[in-house]
Amino acid sequence: MSGTKESPVIVITGTPGTGKTTTAQLLAQESPVPLKHINVGDFVKDNGLYEEYDEEWQSYLPDEDRLLDALEPIVAAGGVILDWHSCDAYPERWPDLVVVLTCDHSQLWERLEKRNYPLKKIQENNEAEIMQTVLTDARESYPPEIVVELRSETTDDMESNVARIVQWIEAWLNDRKAQEA
C-alpha cells in the first residue's frame, strides 16, 4: 500500500480497557495531517458486519471477511486510525504503524469493573493482558519495525504516547517528501 497514500494507516490495539479509543481520539485531534478515527467495534455493529451477538461476552462476533471488505477502500486511501482490541485480522500491507497499548493488570481489572463487564470477561481480558496476547499477535503479524508497545496507565502516559505517535507521523511525512524529491 505504500507510495500512493498521503497519510499513514495507524493501528491502535490492546486489551479492552488499555485506552485505545481515548488515545485514538486524541491522536486524531493532534495529528499534523487529518486522520479518520474508526472504532472497529462500533464500525462492526453500526454496519451489521457481525455473525451474531454473544450474550455471555456481551459483544458482537465480527464477520471478518465482510469487515475487511468494508474497510479496504477506507484503508487504501490512508489517513486512518483503526482502533480495535485485535489487529491480526488486518492484512500485513495495511498498517504503517501498529501501536499496542499495555496496562498493569490490576489497574486494567478496575477499569473493566467500572465498565460493568461480566466477571468471566474481566478475567479473560486480564489474563490476556498478563500473557501479552495482543502484543504477541501484533509481533507475529507485522514486521518488527512497525510494532510499538506503549504503556497506557495514566493521563501523562496517554499524552506522551500521542506526542510520540505525532512525531512518528511527522517523520513518516518527511520520508514521503524525500522519496518524492
Does 15 count as an annotated binding residue? Answer: no
Length of the chain: 181
Nearest to 93 by CA among 34, 20, 167, 9: 9
Task: Write the DSSP assignment of 16-35 as a string of letters.
Answer: TTSSHHHHHHHHHHH-SS--
The response to whether 20 counts as a known ligand-binding position is yes
Q: Is 133 annotated as a binding residue?
A: no
Is 23 annotated among the ligand-binding residues? no
Q: Is 17 among the annotated ligand-binding positions?
A: yes
Task: Confirm or deny that 22 is annotated as ligand binding.
Answer: yes
| Number of C-beta neighbours around residue 62 at 10 A | 20
CA distances from residue 145 to 6, 14, 98 in whole angstroms, order as listed: 20, 18, 9
**What is the amino acid identity at position 132?**
Q
Q: Which own/partner pairs from 55-61 qualify as long-range (CB within 8 Å, at least 24 positions apart)?
A: 56/118, 56/120, 57/118, 57/120, 57/121, 58/117, 58/118, 58/121
Could you tell me if 49 and 111 are in contact, meaning their C-beta atoms sit under 8 angstroms apart? no
The Cα 160–Cα 153 span in angstroms is 11
Residue set of the binding site? 17, 19-22, 115
Residue set of the binding site for ATP? 17, 19-22, 115
